[in-house]
Each structure stands twice: as C-alpha cells, then as structure tokens.
Amino acid sequence: MAGLYIHIPFCKQACYYCDFFFSTNQEQRLEIVRAITSEIALQKDYLDGEILETIYFGGGTPSILMPSELNEIFEAVHRNFAVSDRPEVTLEANPDDLTNKKLEALHDAGINRLSVGIQSFDDSVLKSLNRAHDNLMARCCVEDARKAGFENISIDLIYAIPQRPDEDWQKDINHALEINPEHISSYSLTIEEKTAFGKWTKQGKMKPVDDDLSARQLSLLIDSLESANYEQYEVSNFSKPGFQSMHNSNYWKSKKYLGVGPSAHSYNGESRQYNVSNNASYLRSIQQEKIPCTLEVLTKHDKINEYLLTTLRTSWGADLKIMREKFFFDPIKENYDYIQSLHGKGLIVVEGDILKLTRNGRFLADKIASDLFVVGDWE
Ligand code: SF4
C-alpha cells in the first residue's frame, strides 16, 4: 500500500509566513491541472504496482480547484493506479473557499477528509498573518462541512506568534474544541528567510519567535487537547481515537509515496525525487514527457537518520528490531551513555524493542534525533 500526493501550486494571496511553493497568478491553472494528469500517467510505474491507500491534495490551496478540475485529476489517478476500496482522500482547504456548494461538490467528488487551514480564530491575528478568511468563516466552514457530509475534519492552528499572550492562544484552543474536529495539526510559527516575516525580522521590524513562548504554548495545547480525548500521536498532530492521518502517518512509517505537481517530492524506499518548484519549467518539461525532478539516492546513513528523525516524533517510536534487521544498526548500543542520561532525565523510554520519547522528550524530538544521527564513517 502506498500514497499519492498532488501539489496544487496556487493561492489567492501570500500569507506572510509561508514558504511553500505557490503562485498567486492563476492564469495557468487549467494547464497545470492537465500537466498533473499527464505526470500521473508518466509516473504510473513509480510505485511498482502498489495499491494507493491514501490520496492527498496539498499546496498551495487545492480548495481553489473547480470540481471539474478535481474530477480530471481523479480520472487520471484511476486510469493509472489501483486504488484501495476505501482510500483516505484528503484535501487541504481554506475557509474562504468553502461555500456550501463547493463543499457538496468536494464531497461528491470523493474527498472524504478535509484539512482546513484555520490557523487562528482571532481576526487581528488572521489579519497580521495575511490570511484571506476571518473568524466567522473559520467557525462556519466546519459546521457547513458537517452538513455536506464530512465526518473526518482536521484543522490547522499556529502558535508562538511573537508577543501573543498565552491567554489569547488558549482562547484559540477553546474555540477549536468547540467546533470539535476529529484531528488538529498545530505548528509553532517559524520565520523563513524568503517570506515577508523573514524580511521584517531581518530589518528589525518584527521580533523573532521566542523558544520559551513556543514550548509554553505547545504545553498548553497538549494539556487542553489531552483532556478533551485527543492523542498527541506526533509532535504536531493530535487526533480523536481512529482519526490519525493515514497519509502523514505513512510518511512517518517510511511507506512509499509518489508526489506529482510542481515542487512535489516522492519516495520509493531507496531514493527521493524532488520536482522543480517553478510552474513554467514544470509545464515545459511535462509537455516534453519528462519528469522535471532531481534525484537523491539515499545512503545507509540517510536511511537510519531519517528513520530516527521521523519515528522519534511519533507516539509509536523507533522499532529497534527493524533498525537492527534493516539497517544493521542499534541506536542503544551505539549511544548507550547518552540514552541512559536521557532516560535518567525522564525524556526517553525503552519498552521491549521500542525506543520512544516521553511527553517531555517530544519537546526536544528533533534535537535528540540529531544527537543520535549516524555521521562520519560508521559501518
Ligand atoms: S499558508 Fe497556505 S494559503 Fe497561505 S500562502 Fe501558504 S499555501 Fe497559500
């Protein structure tokens, strides 16, 4: 079983913090949709005949697609891949696109999971991020999606906005709990160099993100969501029982996936492929029936390090048996003293063959994983 990611590289406007690949000029939208359908055909052997169990429309803003464009893509998927009987089909959506008519069309087209970019319920915050929606749209879209038949809804929230008090963040969490989504993804604001926020921070017009504020607000989030029966199954992802994102979980379980569209990535267990992040170059290349990608063949070190980096962020942790059998590597043997010291500080536990971080350890997941990385000439 494998996954398919489809990148829709268009947005209505640029959010000040965002460094994903997108264009606000939608003139080439239909051309890109058609090129994506061509790429799906060109890449039909990438997954070696594995059945698709998840399809994920990301971006950019996939909810700006017309239902007819979405259907063209679905037809191409079904022409070229075997799809499981009940695939998880997610579409990232912005609240301002979700009219009742659009929601019904998305549901009829076969989308069964919506991931809504709410980010905040506070109008002043939404304005400061340059989001295209307001609080009212954020609240209504989830209710409207329910009426259209969606039973699996995720929302995104952003915390650690510089100088935003914890009380205001707690209000956002409370609003999120009121609308009762099955899944919540929440990320600390990060200031990326090539964004408006990056520029303003460099010019001293904006304060950088404060790590203490970020840790405190993540802690508030975990407390509130755990009391409301959500499980933190990955550092930034929380779900009610049975509603973990299958698509994203498969990334963290190192399953194969194909990514199509400009800037999309693919992974087949041995290498990663990165499509070009430029709409014009993408179109030119696909017209010549060439995949516009660069290839990175993964070394043994890459595979071990990626496995540690992704699994230590999850509630299921790193499987030592898999590491020994697949990579001939045992992180405990190689880092005995370090792991003992983490254990002594209550940051890590070993349960049988599973190495996983505790709640406190997960705050430091990326640092701990990188401390365990294989570097140099280990064999
Ligand atoms: S955050 Fe989403 S809507 Fe905003 S610019 Fe980025 S991709 Fe587009």
pLDDT at residue 379 above 60? no
The predicted-structure confidence for 258-268, as pLDDT tens digits, reads as follows 999 999 999 99
For residue 216, give every residue at least 6 positions away whose Cβ sits within 8 Å of its Cβ, in sequence order, or none.
166
Ligand 1 centre from 18 Cα, in Å? 6
How far apart are the C-alpha atoms of 157 and 188, rounded to whole Å?
9
As a whole number of angstroms, the distance between CA 242 and CA 185 comes to 15
For ligand 1, which residues put their CB under 6 angstroms from it? 11, 14-15, 18, 20, 22, 59-61, 94, 117
CA distance linking residue 221 with residue 359, whole number of Å: 12
- Closest ligand 1 atom, CA of 11? 8
184/110 Cα distance (integer angstroms): 22
* Ligand 1 centroid, distance to 96 Cα (angstroms): 12
Mutation pick for ligand 1 pocket among 7, 18, 23, 92 (CB with most ligand atoms within 8 Å): 18
d(CA 121, CA 123): 6
pLDDT band at 378 (very low <50, low <70, confident <90, very high): low
pLDDT digit string (tens) for 127-146?
Answer: 999 999 999 999 999 999 99
Burial class (CB within 10 angstroms; exposed 0-12, middle 13-18, buried 19+) of 327: middle
Q: How many Å lie between the centroid of ligand 1 and the Cα of residue 118?
A: 11
Return the pLDDT at 377.
59
d(CA 182, CA 331) in angstroms, rounded, equals 35
Q: Tell me the CB-side half-sphere exposure of residue 9, using CA atoms within 13 A.
A: 26
Residue pLDDT, tens place only, 283-330: 999 999 999 999 999 999 999 999 999 999 999 999 999 999 999 999
Q: Average the pLDDT over 230-254 and give the result.
A: 97
Three-state DSSP state, 288: coil
Atom of ligand 1 nearest to the CA of 19: 6
Choosing from 8, 12, 15, 63 the residue with most ligand 1 atoms within 8 A of its CB, the one to mutate for a pocket test is 15
Ligand 1 midpoint to CA 13 (Å) = 8
Please give the number of the atom of ligand 1 that sits closest to the Cα of 59.
Answer: 7
State residue 264's pLDDT score. 98
- CA-to-CA distance for 90 and 94, rounded, in angstroms? 13
- 274: β partners: 265, 294
CA 371 – ligand 1 centroid, Å: 32
Alpha-carbon distance of 337 to 184, in angstroms, equals 36
Calculate how far, in angstroms, residue 375's C-alpha sits from the geometric centre of ligand 1: 35
| Closest among 256, 258, 246, 272 to 5, alpha carbons compared | 258
- Could you tell me the distance, in angstroms and rounded to a whole number, from the CA of residue 53 to the centre of ligand 1? 26
For 348-369, what is the mean pLDDT?
Answer: 97
Residue 68 burial class via C-beta count within 10 angstroms: exposed 0-12, middle 13-18, buried 19 and up: exposed
Q: Which residue's CA lies nearest to atom 4 of ligand 1?
A: 15
Mutate to test the pocket of ligand 1, among 61, 119, 155, 194 (most ligand atoms within 8 A of CB): 61
DSSP 132: S
Instruction: Classify residue 37 by its DSSP letter.
Output: H
pLDDT of 375 reads 84
Read off the tokens for 158.
């952003």
**Containing H/E element for 120?**
none
Q: How far is the CA of 352 from the centre of ligand 1 (A)?
A: 42
pLDDT class of 115 with cuts at 50, 70, 90: very high
297 backbone dihedrals φ, ψ, rounded to 5°: -80, 130
Residue 169: name the closest of 133, 223, 117, 131 by CA: 223
> Tens digit of pLDDT for each residue in 22-36?
999 999 999 999 999
* C-alpha 15 to ligand 1 mean position (Å): 6
pLDDT of residue 353: 96
Instruction: Using the atom order of ligand 1, give the atom closest to the CA of residue 117.
Output: 2
Q: How far is it, in rounded angstroms, from Cα 275 to Cα 34?
A: 16
Alpha carbon distance 233, 223 (integer Å): 14
Q: What is the pLDDT of residue 314?
A: 98
Quick one: which atom of ligand 1 is closest to the CA of 131?
Answer: 4
Separation of CA 329 and ligand 1 centre (Å):
39
Mutation choice for ligand 1 from 8, 17, 22, CB with most ligand atoms inside 8 A: 22
Express each pLDDT in 136-193 by its tens digit. 999 999 999 999 999 999 999 999 999 999 999 999 999 999 999 999 999 999 999 9
